[in-house]
Structure 1
Amino acid sequence: MKTMLAAYSGPGILQGTGSSLLSALQQLPSVPWLCRSKMEKHLRVISVLQWVISFLALGLSCTVLLIYMFCTDCWIIAALYTAWLVFDWNTPKQGGRRSSWVRNWTVWNYFRDYFPVRLIKTHDLLPSRNYIFGYHPHGILCFGAFCNFSTEATGFSKKFPGIKPSLATLAGNFRFPVLRDYLMSGGICPVNRNSLDYLLSHNGTGNAVVIVVGGAAESLDCAPGMNSVYLNKRKGFVRIALERGSDLVPVYSFGENDAYKQVIFEEGSWWRNAQRRLQRIIGFAPCLFHGCGVFSDSWGIVPYCKPITTLVGEPITVPKVEAPTQEMVDMYHAMYVRSLRCLFDKYKTRFGLKESDVLHVM
């Protein structure tokens, strides 16, 4: 085609329209690649957006829809689902109902590639033991925790063969219709005593319960560039580890705090006090945050494309003690804090931090 064009074009034409057409033809092979690139970018945004909307609004929306259906001709469907809900109420506290099919959905690969999210293994874990992973920091929506431990997008099962992760979240999420089933399909469980005891003592070995230790309180102080964790007064997970003889594993995600920008109110201000009160009432902290828009860089709920790298640290062997003393809890808690600091200090310069940066434990 290019030869024919050159043959039938005079010098003037070749310098003008013919030259432009020839340049256009030369670019044709790259058009499919550009289309694929744009398509993949949109799919990545959609995959993240669906999770954000599901986590923030799916439960409430389905509750309203269920109530509305009782007032329509579809009331029989609502009644049957409600009966199933009552029958299935305790399932989240008894190991849940994970689905390998859901955990391997292709959508999670796009979710992973949006940031991207990476999982790094630093030590082997024995399938003959049970574990409590302490995940830090909380961030706004725990994107790293969800992607690494509630999906197979980063290859958890291949990197830790024989270990089954269960991400623990607010028990209140499992009171919402549909949302509870969506969460359980990814292996997510309530972060309460009954659920943790079942996974660590009635479900065999090779279980890893992932607890976001800082919780809602920590989310109020997360912002890009922040390296702080709420841990000094969080010792309940250590006591459970001693009671069940489960090893403690520190986990740190570099970049988790960079997903959103947040307005942080000063301690003692009216807004901060209001956030604290609502946190105690509803179980989570109402953060004032923003990311980027769906189709532009304007404000929106889509998180920023910032890399999130999760490191699973060295396990701390914990003996089984039916009634651990406070001294024992404090000792293993101190060991855990030292191990977390070491993990942070060893890898911080590899992921954009300076040698002088320190992890603030509050």
Structure 2
Amino acid sequence: MQPHTEEDILSSSSEDGFDLLAPAPVPKELPKSYAAAAPEPVLPSGDWNINDVSGDGKVGGKFYASEIAKPPHGGRRGNGVKRYHGDDKEYKEPMSHRKTGGSSTSPDGYETKDKTPRRGKGRLVSGDYPVSSNLTRVGSIRFAPLNIPLKRRLQTTAVLWHTFAIAIFVSLFWFLLAIPLTWPLLIPYLIYVLYSNSHRDGSSPVIRSSLFRSLPMWRLLTGYFPLNLHRSSPLPPNRNYIFTYHPHGIISHGAFGHFCTEGTTGFEKLFPGIKNTLLTLESNFRIPFYREYLLKLGLASVSRRSCEALLRGEGKARQSWLAKKFFKSPPPQPAPGGRAITIVVGGARESLEAIPGTMKLVLKRRRGFLKIAIRENAGVVPVLSFGENDLYDQVVPSSNSLIRKLQMLVKKTAGFTVPLFHARGVFNYDVGFLPYRREVNTVIGHPIFPKQQSDSPRDPEVDELQERYIAELQRLWDEWKDVFAKDRQPGEEGELVILE
């Protein structure tokens, strides 16, 4: 599938099995100037309530979910407390300014230091090498020791499954296809896969399984990096929204972890009453077995028809045969609001720009989601994920090279492309296709609503909405780049760049 604080926080990103997993601090509200630039939505009356509308900085949910509250007064960092929570308790400890080269200790008891430079551009990442254990080396490749805790091994297994799920399901299908006894079952199923439209008719929120989305495996997956979710303001559940995730990265691990699982990063706690659906390529739903896996996770097609059906709540509530026989009442009608979709706007083209330490977004020509927002009167909510591009290293061919031309040809014909990426392996820290253990902090901004609803949006209306959207996205970057992107590349290379 191609899915705070102003104080410094200790880095938990690393290539090895001994990197830090210190709980993320609970942040505070955005500055008043920021809130004035992006008006707060009007909260609905009724039973809906949330505890941080006034910006008091209270915890809105568990599992590292946090709301961003007002930073402390004064420009110096490290004058407050770090607040985190777990096991239904809240803990506080003094914050201190992190210095390059300082040491820290992870919850697993392994001390790490920030003294080893990471490959490329001389950037530093804490915890790259364990101090308390000797690594076996073969040439320049570092292999994992045998005494890594079981929990970390399970986290690696969960990420391994997610990364190679599509290959596993394709292999299973071809294996069964080689057995003639399975053909009476496989042939009708293939016909169903080719002609079924349940992934684009708005039925995805009805088909999805909350039990499957809440499996312990997904908490292991989100804890591997770890993934942290933060919000700028609450979203009233009487409106519909389009979440736009940036950047695409190589595989969009952040989008999957935040919007395709439940009880992991706390989306349900931060945005109660909103049912979100992550969207992916239509072609993914034509792959046998993998299609059912995606539908149970609640994914849907990113086509225009699917987006409109989901925002309108056209998916039919399904009743079992027993319920239809004994309960004659019609299925409940969908509420007028509380529906949301998540689109990874940059798509396959943006994956070619997923370079560590950079934030290059393919956005200027991506206007389809803005037209849908105007037609459906939905708020566009920018989502900026700091660290998504740091999960893999990528070999970038020159623009005129044969490899680059082949990549663009595959993208044009197949709808996706294959970046030349690598990261770590299961038992080593230098070669493989598993992502590095590097923290990903995803900040959800303020909603941008169209000034008026229109069935046929005109170019000036789309341009005006796009201008406000990019301004909000730029504000998010400027506000939090020094908190969550401290090790970005120096100069203009490390700033937010809006491409085609």
Report the secondary structure of 1:166's partner residue: strand
For residues 373 and 169 of structure 2, what CA distance do their matches in structure 1 show? 31
Counterpart residue number, 2:419: 287
For residues 175 and 305 of structure 2, what CA distance do their matches in structure 1 show? 30
The one-letter code of the counterpart of 2:468 is: M
Q: Aligned-pair distance for 1:240?
A: 0.9
For residues 210 and 217 of structure 2, what CA distance do their matches in structure 1 show? 14
The one-letter code of the counterpart of 1:244 is: E
Instruction: Give TM-score scaled by structure 1 length.
Output: 0.85
Does the 8 Å contact 1:150/1:186 carry over to 2?
yes
Are 2:496 and 1:359 equivalent residues in the alignment? yes
Are 2:254 and 1:122 equivalent residues in the alignment? no
Q: Aligned-pair distance for 1:177?
A: 1.1
Counterpart residue number, 1:27: none
The equivalent position to 1:41 in structure 2, one of 152, 171, 190, is 152
Report the secondary structure of 1:45's partner residue: helix
Counterpart residue number, 2:242: 132
Q: Aligned-pair distance for 1:119?
A: 0.6
Does the 8 Å contact 1:121/1:313 carry over to 2?
yes
Query: Which structure's residues are more often helix, by fraction?
Result: 1
Report the secondary structure of 1:349's partner residue: helix
Q: Aligned-pair distance for 1:241?
A: 0.6
For residues 414 and 186 of structure 2, what CA distance do their matches in structure 1 show? 26
Q: How does 1:48-63 map to 2 (within 5 A)?
A: 48-55=159-166, 57-63=167-173
Query: Deviations 1:207-239 (Å, cap 9, x if unpaired)?
Result: 111111111001011111111111111111101
Q: How does 1:142-153 map to 2 (within 5 A)?
A: 142-152=252-262, 153=264
For residues 256 and 333 of structure 1, what CA distance do their matches in structure 2 show? 23
Counterpart residue number, 1:247: 379
The equivalent position to 1:160 in structure 2, one of 261, 266, 271, is 271
For residues 372 and 271 of structure 2, what CA distance do their matches in structure 1 show? 23
For residues 223 and 199 of structure 1, what CA distance do their matches in structure 2 show? 33
The equivalent position to 1:64 in structure 2, one of 174, 180, 191, is 174
Does the 8 Å contact 1:252/1:340 carry over to 2?
yes
Q: Which runs of 5+ in 2 are unaligned?
A: 1-108, 110-145, 315-335
For residues 140 and 160 of structure 1, what CA distance do their matches in structure 2 show? 27
Does the 8 Å contact 1:59/1:173 carry over to 2?
no
Q: How does 1:196-207 map to 2 (within 5 A)?
A: 196-203=307-314, 204-207=336-339
Counterpart residue number, 1:339: 472
The equivalent position to 2:282 in structure 1, one of 171, 175, 183, is 171
Q: How does 1:184-333 map to 2 (within 5 A)?
A: 184-203=295-314, 204-318=336-450, 319-333=452-466
Query: Deviations 1:48-104 (Å, cap 9, x if unpaired)?
Result: 00000004x1453244235324xx2222332453355467x1110123221101110
Change (3 A) 1:36 1:117: farther
For residues 335 and 112 of structure 1, what CA distance do their matches in structure 2 show? 32
Q: Aligned-pair distance for 1:36?
A: 10
Q: Aligned-pair distance for 1:352?
A: 3.4
Change (3 A) 1:36 1:183: farther
The one-letter code of the counterpart of 2:153 is: H
Q: Aligned-pair distance for 1:37?
A: 6.3
Counterpart residue number, 1:73: 181
Query: Deviations 1:233-266 (Å, cap 9, x if unpaired)?
Result: 1111101110111110000000000111111111
The one-letter code of the counterpart of 2:216 is: T
Counterpart residue number, 1:15: none
For residues 169 and 337 of structure 2, what CA distance do their matches in structure 1 show? 32
Report the secondary structure of 1:94's partner residue: coil
For residues 361 and 242 of structure 2, what CA distance do their matches in structure 1 show? 17
Q: Aligned-pair distance for 1:349?
A: 1.0
Does the 8 Å contact 1:249/1:315 carry over to 2?
yes
Query: Deviations 1:141-163 (Å, cap 9, x if unpaired)?
Result: 00000000000211111111011
Report the secondary structure of 2:423's partner residue: strand
Q: Aligned-pair distance for 1:202?
A: 3.3
For residues 340 and 349 of structure 2, what CA distance do their matches in structure 1 show? 24
For residues 133 and 64 of structure 1, what CA distance do their matches in structure 2 show? 36
For residues 207 and 62 of structure 1, what CA distance do their matches in structure 2 show? 35
For residues 169 and 148 of structure 2, what CA distance do their matches in structure 1 show? 33
Change (3 A) 1:126 1:36: farther
Counterpart residue number, 1:14: none
Query: Deviations 1:98-151 (Å, cap 9, x if unpaired)?
Result: 110111010011101100001101111111111111110000000000000000
Larger Rg: 1
Change (3 A) 1:226 1:352: closer
Are 2:214 and 1:82 equivalent residues in the alignment? no
The one-letter code of the counterpart of 1:148 is: H
Query: Deviations 1:256-299 (Å, cap 9, x if unpaired)?
Result: 00111111111122111110000111111111111101011130
Does the 8 Å contact 2:176/2:182 carry over to 1?
no
Change (3 A) 1:241 1:58: farther
For residues 334 and 68 of structure 1, what CA distance do their matches in structure 2 show? 54
Change (3 A) 1:270 1:222: same
Does the 8 Å contact 1:122/1:312 carry over to 2?
yes
Query: Deviations 1:318-341 (Å, cap 9, x if unpaired)?
Result: 232111110100110011000000
Does the 8 Å contact 2:193/2:286 carry over to 1?
no
Counterpart residue number, 1:12: none
Counterpart residue number, 2:481: 348
Query: How many residue pairs are counted as aligned between the two chains?
Result: 326
Q: Percent identity?
A: 38
